[in-house]
């Protein structure tokens, strides 16, 4: 009989299981489970315990309406963001960005020269990769970088919670491009800034997109110890 994992081993297993999932089954996520995951995520830290985050979850007919509308609006160039983002990086950050895209499109079997096919697949971002649920993360518009860091820690806790329960997720900056469409659809107040969305559900383990594995930097490249 295998001995149960201790808390440290459980954390390592959950953290390493979390990765970006871009294909989901149509199995719905039980609301009680989802509420429990978000309730646990409320333990995430924030500066002075300000908890500067809001989450707006879309499922059912609301989600299906967005899934139909967003790709059309994006293709038409109808974009509206709450926070500027140009997606341009330099040096090693650009290398990592390109390597991530290569890993995904290699898994999908779409070579670099097939730009039309790549663009068509990119539109799946706005279909939420067929996920049965999407969470949109916002914070008060008056806040800045410090509070965005708090929101990030909260979101990571949500993603780890999803992973711990056998669910998958994909954080999507692309959904922030459509803030002007998403916010009215979900009755999100204008004084909240939409930063990104998180598609979630049960992973489709057979899907090609979910076979993509991205590399991580070596520990010594990002962590230094002083004593």
Q: Identify the pLDDT of residue 1.
A: 65
Q: Cβ(198)–Cβ(173) under 8 Å?
A: no
Task: Please compute the mean of the pLDDT values over residues 46-53 and round it to a whole number.
Answer: 98
Range of the domain at 200: 20-86+127-207
Q: Write the CATH number for 48.
A: 3.40.109.10
Q: Which helix (H) or strand (E) holds 59?
A: none
User: Predicted confidence band at 112 (pLDDT cuts at 50, 70, 90)?
Assistant: very high
What pTM did the predictor assign?
0.94
Q: Is residue 42 part of a domain?
A: yes
Total tally of structural domains belonging to the chain: 1
Q: Is residue 116 part of a domain?
A: no
Mean pLDDT, all residues of the chain: 96
Q: Is residue 107 part of a domain?
A: no
Q: Is residue 163 part of a domain?
A: yes
Q: Is residue 214 part of a domain?
A: no
């Amino acid at each position: 009989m295998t001995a149960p994992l201790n808390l440290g081993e459980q954390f390592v297993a959950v953290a390493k299981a979390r990765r970006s999932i871009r294909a989901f089954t149509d199995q719905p996520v039980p609301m009680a489970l989802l509420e429990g995951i978000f309730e646990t995520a409320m333990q995430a830290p924030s500066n002075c315990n300000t908890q500067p985050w809001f989450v707006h979850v879309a499922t059912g007919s609301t989600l299906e309406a967005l899934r139909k509308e967003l790709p059309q609006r994006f293709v038409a160039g109808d974009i509206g963001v709450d926070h500027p983002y140009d997606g341009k990086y330099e040096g090693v950050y650009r290398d990592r960005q390109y390597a991530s895209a290569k890993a995904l499109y290699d898994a999908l079997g779409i070579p670099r020269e097939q730009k039309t096919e790549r663009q068509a697949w990119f539109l799946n971002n706005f279909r939420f990769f067929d996920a049965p649920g999407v969470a949109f993360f916002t914070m008060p518009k008056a806040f800045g970088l410090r509070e965005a860091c708090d929101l990030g820690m909260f979101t990571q806790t949500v993603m780890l919670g999803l992973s711990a329960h056998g669910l998958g997720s994909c954080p999507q900056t692309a959904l922030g491009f459509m803030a002007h469409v998403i916010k009215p659809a979900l009755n999100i107040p204008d004084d909240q800034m939409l930063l990104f969305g998180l598609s979630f559900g049960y992973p489709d383990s057979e899907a090609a997109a979910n076979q993509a594995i991205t590399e991580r930097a070596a520990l010594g490249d990002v962590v230094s110890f002083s004593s």
